[in-house]
Amino acid sequence: MSKYLKLSLLGAAIVAASTTLAQPPAREEGPRTPTPRLADGTVDLNGHGIWELPYITDFATRMVGAQKGDQPPMLPWSKALWEYNRSNDVKYDPEGFCLPPGGPRSMGTPYPAEFVQQEDRILIIFEGGGHVWREIHMDGREHPEDVNPTYFGHSVGRWEGDTLVIDTVGYNEKTWIDFNGHVHSDQMHTIERITRPFKEVLHYEATIEDPGAYSAPWTVAWDIEWTDGAELQDYICQENNIWLVELKDDLGHPFFEKMEAP
Amino acid sequence: MKTTLAALATLTAGLLFSAHSLAHHSFAAEFDAEKKLDIAGVVTKVEWTNPHTYFWIEVEGKEGVDVWGFEMGSPNGLMRRGWTKDTLAIGTEVIVRGTQARDGSTRGNAQAVILADTCTRLFAGTSQRDFVEDESAKVEGCTPKQ
């Protein structure tokens, strides 16, 4: 068993001792200011402040309806790859290369985020994850029939009452589900549900449907805390990522070879 | 690598380590949590870069001066915790506690940076923040010079 695995299991055990895995912790302390709204009554997803994204290193610990120790319903190949990723200290995690988190991982990655709400689209801007943003079309459009795969895919959103529902397809396969090494295929389809039950908390849920890597859809959920008045900062991950130079492959050779011009 | 033995000190046993909120990449692949460091030296260089801030110290050893380099969290994380560009000025005497690189070089991951003059502990924003459970607690093994 690798050290990382041992540490992860220890960390998971500590978390499990204090919270229930099946549901995100309900916020029992602190202020509960009424949900802020825009002039037309729509939920205001931001205001002057930032969302302190939690660092969800292992999505299995946040599965809705799951018991401690459960894993998402992986297919044999995705399970084998997940086990391989864990066996080598998850050193090939793309986010460690300063590549974007992609998908739901973006909402559980280090450093805060902000929502920018416009009439026809919502942007989520992230301090971390490579200082990236997501664009969610709110103008009623549908997904293109044949989407070119990208890190964040193609997102369309709609309001169901006070719940923002984001439907995304067209992910590439260059990201991991989480730091723990769960993987996905380019068939991944995510449905995210975001509510702001009161000003200080955003409740986040994501259903991952990926017949290429999982035998059934699975859902994760967590709460995100608000910090009033705080602002995003600079974070340019690719500036000096020495990890890229140091990383060796399984045979001890540099992982990143110099690319030759054609 | 001459002064490693002189500089190494065993830290409190039984500390809990866990995967954590400011890890940028796999900590375990780069640093060895078993190789604990407790080193005093003088800051010679600070690089405020992403995704990690680095600083170097000169350490008096039995056979001369060794240069150690340390990794901390990214500038945004450190500055949220009160760091400024002037916090670690060149010439500052510090005590660094952390873990050593797996390759055995004089590189480490700083978990606590302590200003030797005042014994003030600065949050280092590394992948092992749990190393210091109570950041306001008195720093063991440090006597203020002022």
DSSP notation for A136-178: EE-SS----SSPPPBSS-EEEEEEETTEEEEEEE-B-SSS-SS
* pLDDT at A62 (0 to 100): 97
With contact defined as beta carbons under 8 Å apart, do A78 and A180 qualify? Answer: no
Place of tokens 């017949």: A211
* Structure tokens given for A42: 């729509």
Cβ–Cβ below 8 Å for B16 and A10: yes
Burial class (CB in 10 A: 0-12, 13-18, 19+), B64: exposed
Strand A218-228 relative to strand A49-52: parallel, antiparallel, unpaired? antiparallel
* pLDDT at A22 (0 to 100): 38
With contact defined as beta carbons under 8 Å apart, do A211 and A169 qualify? Answer: no
Cβ–Cβ below 8 Å for A238 and B49: no
With contact defined as beta carbons under 8 Å apart, do A177 and A219 qualify? Answer: no
Q: In the predicted model, is pLDDT for residue B127 greater than 70? A: no
Average pLDDT over residues A16-29: 47
**For B29, which of A7, A91, A234 is closest by C-beta distance?**
A91
Average pLDDT over residues A169-184: 97
With contact defined as beta carbons under 8 Å apart, do A113 and A107 qualify? Answer: yes
* pLDDT at B19 (0 to 100): 30
* Reported confidence tier of residue B143, pLDDT bands at 50, 70, 90: confident
Average pLDDT over residues A144-160: 97
* pTM score, whole prediction: 0.81
**For B50, which of A89, A179, A236 is closest by C-beta distance?**
A236
* pLDDT at A26 (0 to 100): 55
Average pLDDT over residues B16-37: 66
Q: In the predicted model, is pLDDT for residue A136 greater than 60? A: yes
Average pLDDT over residues B113-129: 78
* pLDDT at A179 (0 to 100): 95
With contact defined as beta carbons under 8 Å apart, do A51 and A112 qualify? Answer: yes
| DSSP reduced 3-state for A237 | helix
* Reported confidence tier of residue B24, pLDDT bands at 50, 70, 90: low
Interface of A with B (CB under 8 A): 2-4, 7-8, 10-11, 14, 54-55, 57-58, 88-91, 93, 95-98, 110-111, 127, 179, 233-243, 246-247
* pLDDT at B29 (0 to 100): 81
Q: In the predicted model, is pLDDT for residue A6 greater than 70? A: no
Burial class (CB in 10 A: 0-12, 13-18, 19+), B132: middle
Please provide the average confidence, as pLDDT, over all residues in chain A.
90
Interface probe for A, chosen from B55, B70, B76 (most Cβ of A below 10 Å), is B76
